[in-house]
Structure 1
Amino acid sequence: MTGTGAPVAAIVLAAGSSSRTAPAHKLLAPDAMGLPMIARTLRAVTASQATPVIVVLGHRAAEIREAALAGTATGHPVQFVTAPDYAAGLSRTLSVGIEAASQHDVAGALICLGDMPLIGTGLINDMIAGFASHPTYPGAMPVHDGRRGNPVLWARALFPALMQLAGDRGARDLLRLHGPEMLRIPAGPEIAQDFDTPARLAEFARLFAGG
């Protein structure tokens, strides 16, 4: 819960075609325990204080949905929505997720990327707690060694602007505008570590051997 009494949603973006790892789809790639990447990402998100958790689907939606459910924490429902124009770019996928979050009584939304499975529950909760203490901020971002990364938490006041974005730039333009005013949350190097090339998928296949 935030200082406004409303929770923060988590939006997991999982609609892309994963063209850089074709023919393999990165979100379906298994780790050392056989858990698909999207499920590993969802395991941390659904164990956090974020609610609701919304997953935006697009390319190979049915397969991604089935894989995602393998990582859902017990008793934590996940809302799946589909971005019909996901091929138009990340911004349209984000817009669909924000629109879904706006239907709930939330103070903001944490935007998570499906191919960043190293983001832990602790960081997610730290970001939500930090924003709860500063509810008038435009949002919160994790920072490591002076550099920002993902996920990014946006206050509800910016939902309309987020839904108007276009192209494949995500919210970069809004970050440039509002970034200086956003709360900084100390984090580790995982905030800049995604898995979107064949070499990185090979690395992911060796991770999480302990469970």
Structure 2
Amino acid sequence: MTKRRPAVIVLAAGRGMRFLGQGHKLEQHLGADLDPSTSGAEDTVLAHTLAHAIASGMRVVVVTTQNLAPLVRPLIAARDVVAIPEFDSQGRATPIGMGYSIAAGVAATGDADGWLIVPADMPLLRPASMLAVAAALEQFPVAYAQYHGRQGHPVGFSAELYSELVDLHGDEGARRIVARYPSQAVEVDDPGVLVDVDTVEDLARLQSQHGLARVS
């Protein structure tokens, strides 16, 4: 019998407001491929994060907003895009926090053998790190990658936590679940587990450290 594997939930529903006037942070160009395994891929922040997640061999589902869905759909199969409405039927803004996004992604992959949570703005996160956390879920309900003792992503949850994950809401994410259950730190030789692109300064630092040409 084929063993079921965790699904990778890529969170791409943030508003990216710190790049106001320059487009969303996920569509910022890095200027070159950061990893030979993604050669030929688009060079946006989102494209690199997704390419690494797909290279892990696990199912990848992207949780995004209807507004950002056109940015996501060229990069992954339509069936694996979970688009959250930004406004309800009365025109009121939908409270799209991290918890809400995680719940939507887990609900869409209910038959998975656990879930790895990956923010979409982490283009250096390596497939091997995702697989290491997935392996730890065979023994622990919660596992997370760390580099030199510092906690990073992905954070993984076993299938037994389904009901708690789909009940998440707000912007707190899954911190309470991580605190409630025994968790395993998975030390990896991958500084990318700590690197996100949240600000213009983060992007410039990443480009500088990797000798990437800036793309206007």
Q: Secondary structure at the match of 2:80?
A: strand
Q: 1:58, 1:82 within 8 Å by CA — same for their partners in 2?
A: yes
Distance 1:90 1:130 in 2: 23
CA contact (8 A) 1:108 1:155 kept: yes
CA contact (8 A) 2:137 2:157 kept: no
- Give the structure 1 partner of residue 65 of structure 2: 58
Asked if the contact 1:9–1:54 (Cα under 8 Å) also holds between the matched residues in 2, the reply is yes
Counterpart of 1:18 in structure 2 is: 16
Q: Could you list the runs of 5+ residues in structure 1 that have no partner in the other structure?
A: none
TM-score (norm 2): 0.80
Tell me which residue corresponds to 1:189. 191
- Paired residue type of 1:157: E
- 2:178 and 2:117 mapped to 1: Cα distance? 13
Aligned counterpart, 1:82: 83
Q: Which residue of 2 aligns with 1:28?
A: 27
Give the whole-Å Cα distance in 2 for the aligned partners of 1:122 and 1:194.
Answer: 18
| 1:95 alignment counterpart | 103
Alpha carbons 2:66, 2:83 under 8 Å: kept = no
Say if 2:127 is the partner of 1:128: no
1:110-142, Cα deviation, whole Å (9 max, x unpaired): 11110011100111122223333x2xx212111
Which residue is 1:139 aligned to? 142
Q: Is the alpha carbon distance of 1:38 and 1:45 closer, same or farther for their aligned partners in structure 2, counting shifts above 3 Å?
A: same
Which SS does the other structure have where 2:198 is aligned? coil
Identity of aligned residues (%): 29
CA shift in 2, pair 1:77/1:60, >3 Å: closer
**CA deviations over 1:142-186 (Å, ceiling 9, x no partner):** 1223222111110011111111112111111111212xx122211
- Matched residues, number: 194
Name stretches of at least 5 consecutive residues in structure 2 with no aligned partner. Answer: 33-41, 87-93
Cα distance, 1:64 vs structure 2: 2.2
Please identify the structure whose Cα radius of gyration is greater.
2
User: Aligned equivalents of 2:73 and 2:113: distance in 1?
Assistant: 29
Matched, 1:155 2:161: no
The 1:203/1:152 distance shift into structure 2, 3 A limit, reads: same
Deviations 1:4-39 (A, max 9, x none): 921111110001111122123110001112611111
Which deviates more from structure 2 when the two are superposed, residues 167-176 or residues 111-120? Answer: 167-176
State the 4+ residue runs in structure 1 displaced beyond 4 angstroms.
205-210
The residue aligned with 1:198 is: 200
